[in-house]
Amino acid sequence: MPITEEQVQSPLSADLQAILRCLHCDARLESDQSGGFVCPACQRAYPKVNGIVRFVDAQHYAASFGFQWHRYHKTQLDHDEVRESEQHFLMKTGLRPEELKGKLVLDVGCGMGRFAEVATRWGGRVVGIDLSAAAEVAARNLASREFVALQADVFALPFAAQSFDIIYSMGVLHHTPDCEAAVKALAKYLKPGGVLAVWLYSGYNKWYRFSDFWRRYTHKMRPETLHGILRIAVPFFYHLDQGLRRVPVVGGPVAGAIHHVFPVNRQKEPEARMLDTFDWYSPKYQSKHTYEQVFRWFEAMGLEDLHVAELPISVRGRNPLQPTK
Ligand SMILES: C[S@@+](CC[C@H](N)C(=O)[O-])C[C@H]1O[C@@H](n2cnc3c(N)ncnc32)[C@H](O)[C@@H]1O
């Protein structure tokens, strides 16, 4: 479904214009007639294409995510009966609704917008950026919210320094070529007193060893091809696992061994199972981290008041009100 002009306009647009900066000369951007932006200093244009302003010229290594979020555009989106993303938001950031209310928030790697949905429901005014075409899906999913999606790269963000009250990034920065550099790129965009919260894959358990092995090959496949293979493999291994577990004595260990070598997600809901398994096998980059590492990065950025949240590896920290000497 194409995105209409009305869907991508929001009251946030004026705030956004005040903080948007040219990637090349850092000048303040002006809107152009097509709804995109242009730099008055160096004439660089940032066009609006299919309803989204583009600060990158391609999805680069993130094309599989573009495919994934277009294909599973609502699977993880909360609704009246299901509040799973809200639970994840709490467990991965430790941020409470009252901390987001009225705040200008940056969602780094927003995907199809499930966490921005929570943040806007809690009263945050959210700018979501994503390297992939998932930004289009987020804009569509959150068309009625205080939300603007941009296609942009965490390593080249089009914002003035000290623009945001809260920046969060969940399940994203370990999918970049350099997770440490990606985390460290974010602190400069925090206002004094602003909070950065990240959730990264944990390096503590080793369940992922085999999926990492297979992923060396699977990430090179076209997303459509990999998805086609998984449409057969995921139900096969899932039902094999369920069947074996009913066999007394040997069933459990055999099922465990097969799952270890050929991991597929074991959620009850078939669509969620497919989505999460595709998400394991498709990304080019997928690093794992420890609290020790991430605390060192946060300290190096000068953030203080460091906390962990419930799900490893989740760390948040605050930009000092006064710069440290
Ligand atoms: C696993 S998805 C997570 C999406 C969302 N945060 C969620 O949890 O539903 C990872 C997202 O990170 C985005 N991403 C990867 N590298 C990025 C980069 N350099 N800049 C911005 N987004 C990036 C991908 O396009 C993808 O949508």
CA distance 199 to 169: 6
Q: Residue 208's pLDDT is what?
A: 77
Going by alpha carbons, the residue nearest to atom 25 of ligand 1 is 132
Q: Determine the pLDDT at residue 205.
A: 80
- Give me ligand 1 centre to Cα 296, in Å: 23
Distance (Å) from CA 129 to ligand 1 centroid:
9
Q: Which residues contact 224 (CB under 8 A, 6 or more apart)?
A: 67
pLDDT for the residue numbered 14: 82
Crossing angle for the helix pair 270-281 and 223-244, to the nearest 10 degrees: 120
Residues with CB under 6 A from ligand 1: 62, 65, 69, 109-111, 114-115, 129-132, 134, 153-155, 170-172, 175-176, 279
Cα–Cα dist 116/113, whole Å: 5
Q: Tell which atom from ligand 1 comes closest to the C-alpha of 176.
A: 16
Phi and psi of 83, rounded to 5°?
-125, 40
> Residue 170 Cα, ligand 1 centroid: separation in angstroms?
8
Distance 131 CA to ligand 1 centre (A): 7
Closest ligand 1 atom, CA of 69? 27
Per-residue pLDDT of the chain (325 residues; tens, 9 = 90+): 444 444 445 567 788 999 999 999 999 999 998 889 999 999 999 999 999 999 999 899 999 999 999 999 999 999 999 999 999 999 999 999 999 999 999 999 999 999 999 999 999 999 999 999 999 999 999 999 999 999 999 999 999 999 999 999 999 999 999 999 999 999 999 999 999 999 999 999 877 789 999 999 999 999 999 999 999 999 999 999 999 999 999 999 999 999 999 999 999 999 999 999 999 999 999 999 999 999 999 999 999 999 999 999 999 999 999 766 5
Does the predicted model carry a pTM greater than 0.75? yes
CATH numbers and ranges of domains, the chain: 53-202+290-318 (3.40.50.150), 217-281 (no CATH)
Q: How far apart (Å, rounded) are the C-alpha atoms in residues 196 and 240?
A: 42
Contact 128, 113 (CB under 8 A): yes
**Dihedral pair phi/psi, residue 195, rounded to 5°:** -115, 135
Centre of ligand 1 to C-alpha 171, Å, is 7
